[in-house]
Homo-oligomer: A and B are copies of this chain.
Amino acid sequence: MTAPSPQSDTRLPAYLRLRDDIARRIAAGEWGPDDLLPSENKLSAQHALSVGTVRKAIQQLVDEGLLERRQGSGTFLRKPAFDATLFRFFQAREADGAPSIPSSRLISRTRVTAPAAVAAALGTGDVIRIERLRCLSEQPFLAETLYIPAARFPGFEAIPESEIGPLLYPVYLDRYGVFVARAEDEVRFGTADAATARRLGIAEGAPVALIERLAFAMSGEPVEWRIACGPADRFRYRSRIG
């Protein structure tokens, strides 16, 4: 076959068109996380391109973190695990210093009209609001409020809590085919309001770090807006420049 999918825009180089084609097929859910993609040979035959061109296209997707190559085995779709990136911002470690994924406690799931700023970011005001608390060793340290478009996640508010793990993105993928590929974070400082302070067990007005996130599906469509709030003294962020 010669990929009858919607031809990439203009007269772009072949390796870019192939890259976009593969990305589109990933977005369409043709392969699931950790699935094996066709080999370079197969792809080059299917698209009537040389292996070198195919490698160049794949390499870009590897650089973007979408794919993973294993010499001798094949090329695999990577499952993005960047729910954990939120915790780059906080010291989320057990007492023994081992990093771990905090447990989640869902507080509420309600269909509401989104605040103006959130509606603007998501492109719709018809959303489901999720409130949850992240805990480490039974100790709450991060309060989150999330909004997801009701049209994109129908019935989410009715999913039994037992079927929702500590991470949400796998749920989005498994139940709704929404593959969160990219996110934008913004970090600010502020003070805790009464409700948040109560949940976190800190004083009202205590300094907190606020992390806003807008997450996008592979298609570029925004699929989740969230704000996380944690005590400022646990905040710590490292970055490498250059």
Contact = CB atoms under 8 A, between A and B. Distances in A.
Interface in A196-241: 207, 209, 216, 232-233, 235-241
Nearest to A237: B187
Given A63-B63, A207-B232, A232-B207, A241 B85 contact: yes
Question: Most chain-B CB neighbours within 10 Å: which of A64, A189, A209, A236?
Answer: A189
A210 to B, nearest CB: 10
A25 interface: no
Range class of the A interface residue count: 20 to 34
Contacts of A232: 189, 207, 232
B237 A184 contact: no
Nearest to A182: B242
Nearest to A206: B207
A233 B242 CA distance: 27
Q: Assembly of this chain: how many copies?
A: 2
A57 interface: no
Contacts of A180: 242
Interface string A178-195: 001111111111000000
Given A63-B63, A207-B207, A232-B207, A240 B182 contact: yes
A209 B189 contact: yes
Interface string A3-31: 00000000000000000000000000000
Given A63-B63, A207-B207, A242 B189 contact: no
B238 A185 contact: yes
Interface in A162-181: 180-181
3 tightest A-B contacts by CB? A182-B242, A189-B232, A187-B237
Interface of A: 63-65, 80, 82, 85, 180-189, 207, 209, 216, 232-233, 235-242
13 contacts: A65-B242, A85-B241, A181-B242, A182-B240, A182-B241, A183-B242, A184-B239, A185-B239, A186-B238, A187-B235, A188-B235, A237-B237, A239-B239
